[in-house]
Homo-oligomer: A and B are copies of this chain.
């Protein structure tokens, strides 16, 4: 694959994670990352669009998994499109929570790096926003109205964000799936009494 050793991309990712964790994102230059990976700065930018993106490479796979779940969801055949839409999004995130995410320890270290740096937080919420937009698009394709689709996607994504945050902060080491289910359940309690 590479001119020398293989796996250039994952070597770059590993080097970046290590350096970001050791000395912080700002105090790490792309040249240093490349050097540790045995490559050049120019090659780094051939594998990652920018210095932040190296931490968010898995995002497309997560998005694809969520879209597939919703695209194939049996919940969306009904007339009650709105509630079914949210249920389908919630189910998709439950699948992802069970299958997709790395061990909590890795996620914790990654999150420490992100939490210490505003530009990285910006990228993270941007990724979630794109996921939300993509989910809304799929819901529309499956016949959900524009407004309901956008809201179901936003609410589901928001619940997942909350669940993920609580998971990495959880000292009791609960499962991500547990946190997601808890957040979805709590979300449902937010509505009825105020209608």
Contact = CB atoms under 8 A, between A and B. Distances in A.
B80 A152 contact: no
Contacts of A152: 190
- Interface of A, helix, strand, loop or mixed by DSSP: helix
A17 to B, nearest CB: 21
Nearest to A87: B194
Contacts of A154: 155, 158-159, 161-162
Given A121-B126, A126-B125, A155-B158, A83 B194 contact: yes
Count identical subunits in the complex.
Answer: 2
Interface residues of A, number: 42
A51 interface: no
B122 A150 contact: no
A188 B187 contact: no
A137 interface: no
Nearest to A149: B162
Interface in A69-103: 80, 82-87
Contacts of A172: none
Contacts of A189: 82-83, 148
A148 B190 CA distance: 8
Nearest to A193: B83
A151 interface: yes
A194 B90 CA distance: 11
Among A154, A159, A183, chain B packs the most CB atoms within 10 A around the CB of A154
